[in-house]
Amino acid sequence: MYRKKYMLKHLYFSLFPIHYFFLKNFGKFLCMFFFFLNGFLFSQISFNNLSENMKKNPKPIVLYIDSDYCAYCSIQQKQLSKDKKVQDILSHNFYFVKINSEQKSQIVFDHQVYEYNTKAEAHQLACLYALENGKIATPTWVIFSKEYIPIFKYNGLINVKDLQVLLENFSEK
């Protein structure tokens, strides 16, 4: 009986640093989680909901193409998550859709079906709009009119102040 009590006490103290670390940093983990949720997914709409929303309330579309391995995409996401003004413009004046260039799921955009292209090792939609000199350039920004006509395209990192001015110019007031 003494041995069991010692083992339990020993187990408790061996787990104590993990408990202490978790409890001490729980607030930080929670803040990071909500920061992530609020950060880049602030106004994003899925491709499935896009056509429904366009029928009810047509607005210009901002298509953002990124990839998992892209360092510039990470920088762009951090910048966007911090700039509330750009978030508000995207939320109220546009439909903001995001696609990962390596995404393998099927997407319906402008009544056309796009799939993963195994030969290019990228999604067809990314190949269509983010192809630059034979390679997928990420991040890529494409702005479409209400009629799904591309009216602006930019490959690369955009300063959030420049993006704000750009979006204000293309938004309907």
34 and 50 inside one domain: no
Return the pLDDT at 94.
93
CATH of the domain at 158: 3.40.30.10
70 and 33 inside one domain: no
58 alpha carbon, distance to own chain's centre:
22
User: d(Cα 18, Cα 16) in Å, to the nearest integer?
Assistant: 5
Return the pLDDT at 20.
53
Residue 117: CA count within 13 A, CB half-sphere: 14
What's the domain count of the chain? Answer: 2
61 and 134 inside one domain: yes
b/e sequence 37-70, b meaning 16+ C-beta within 10 Å:
eeebebbebebeebeeebeeeebbbbbbbbbeeb
114 and 127 inside one domain: yes
15 and 30 inside one domain: yes
31 and 49 inside one domain: no
- For residue 61, the enclosing domain spans 43-170
8 and 65 inside one domain: no
The answer to whether the pTM exceeds 0.75 is no
17 and 57 inside one domain: no
98 and 153 inside one domain: yes
28 and 52 inside one domain: no
Return the pLDDT at 48.
85
5 and 70 inside one domain: no
Return the pLDDT at 35.
42
Return the pLDDT at 18.
54
Return the pLDDT at 153.
95
Return the pLDDT at 7.
53
Return the pLDDT at 38.
42
**What is the block-wise mean pLDDT of the chain (173 residues), using blocks of 10 residues?**
52 52 52 44 77 91 93 93 92 93 91 90 92 89 94 93 92 65
According to DSSP, the β-strands at 95-100 and 61-66 are: parallel
